[in-house]
Structure 1
Amino acid sequence: MKMPNLFQKSTLLAAATVSLAFTQVACNKTEKTDTTTSTTTTTTTTKDQAYDDYKNYVTTLESDVERGWDTTITDADQRMTQWKNDYETRRSAVAQYEGDFDENRRREYDSLQTRYSTAWAAREQQYNTWRQTHQGAGSVSKVDMSVYNESKIPSYTATNIRTAYEDFVKHVEANKANFSNDDWKIVDKYWSQLDDRKNAIQSQLSDKDKWEIAKAKTKYTTMKAGNKTGNTASNVGSDVKEVGKDVSNSKVGEATKDAGKAVGNTAKKAGQKVGEVFKDDKKDN
């Protein structure tokens, strides 16, 4: 009778145990890896997600603007700031993928940026109208000047500086009637620094961007010239005074001044002669 090989059985049992343990560890490791991968996938914003978020934001803003201003709002200033920040967040998210856009998406993206600028200008007009109607004229500033934050200018690149110009012009156009002389100084300073930034990256701009920026500059220059002395009722008196100074310091002003002196001297001499005539007649009599 053949005796069972206990040593062989023990060896096989140990091997099976080790194999089972290894398989369990491998499964656990795989499950952990899969979980990590799944979590990463759900928290990462893809190119399509970023683009869809941007597109949906613009579409939603347009619809909201069409509905008009919500007169029940009590935190209008904060909401305007939040809406602007929300847009900048979405635009920054999609901007990193601009180089990967095909021609169709590029055209649609350009259109979305233009649509946003138009909608935001309308929203600012609604906001300013509401503030003038529901808040005292002297209680708050007429225009939100926080958009002219010079600290963000250095961050503009060849991919978004054209939009910065267009947004700037839209905002000026929407608020020019309410700018004070001090506001115009802030606007002009921001414009100057924006121009400096554009010049620094000029070689990176496409011909189309250069053309659109040139159009924006022409529009701003026209608006600035038309509103150089301000156009609100409260500034009319001071504006006329400033114009008067300009005239008085010009050659025309000097000529007018000199002509006035000449007329005055002539009248004075004529008066003296008439006086002398009457004096002589009196003596003769």
Structure 2
Amino acid sequence: DEYIGRSLARSGLTLHLRLSPADTIDNARYETLIFTARKARLHYNDQISLDNHRILKLRERYPGVEFKDIAPSIDAMRVIKSPEEIEVMRRNGRISAEGVKQAMLATRPGGYEYEIEAAAMHVVLKNGASGAAYPPIVGSGPNTCILHYEKNDRRVEDGDLVLMDFGGLLDYMCMDISRTWPASGKFTKEQREVYEIALEIQKACIEAYRPGATNEDVQKHVAEVMKKKGLDSRGQRGGFGHYVGLCTHDVGPRAEKLQEGMVFAIEPGFYYPDKNIGVRIEDTVLITKDGCEVLSKDVPKEIDEVEKL
């Protein structure tokens, strides 16, 4: 439920899997296997099957030749961005940031989540993007606690938080930004407390992202900041970041050490469904020679700036 929203009810699962509470575990396993296999075949890519068939035939014909999957090599090449790719991502950062900013301005109690999405989409399309890099997430109230919420059809109520995860697709390069703001213009005390924790942790991550740093270095730095400031990590879900490039969650081997030219999304999030409070603050950053450049810096994230907007 926390990733995409409410799942099938118990009766729905029974209907789809043809199970009843009286069924044995073995029968349940069998029915689940048949169900997933059937669904997997429905969505199977014929091209992949054809390629695999060709490779098998080639291996039979040329037993002395070693065949290797080229994808890992290409994936590794995508990790370090070229100067041209970096310029595209900088521009995408600017227009996507403006899109999120306009979405914030378009928010009002009584409006709908899809209206907020439309405000952001208008900006990126007007500025040359081919669309969104991924299905936009605009969650209000309880929907802020659903990590990959995509319905965007709830009516925004007074006192709600609004969480938006959005980025444009420009010249095949993606952008990934998240912001959280109060629909009524002012954070409540509880909302502010959670927001401050998320913001402090995101800033700590950004400070730690620099050439030569390892994932362990980042985690250690964040832990030190949290301990020093007495921050509570309960409610934190999801990782701190991921590659961004031709895909929003881009491919590539896990970096042993950060290198200049890598691009990451840094996205700490805190979620409290019992309070309808979900906060995620995400920026896309470029690793530079001596630190990192925040490509999505034009979207306000300081509390005073957000409330003023």
Q: Please, what TM-score do these two structures have when normalized by structure 1?
A: 0.30
| Greater RCO, CA 8 A, separation 6+ | 2
Larger Rg: 1
Structure with greater helix share of residues: 1
Structure with greater strand share of residues: 2
Q: Please, what TM-score do these two structures have when normalized by structure 2?
A: 0.28
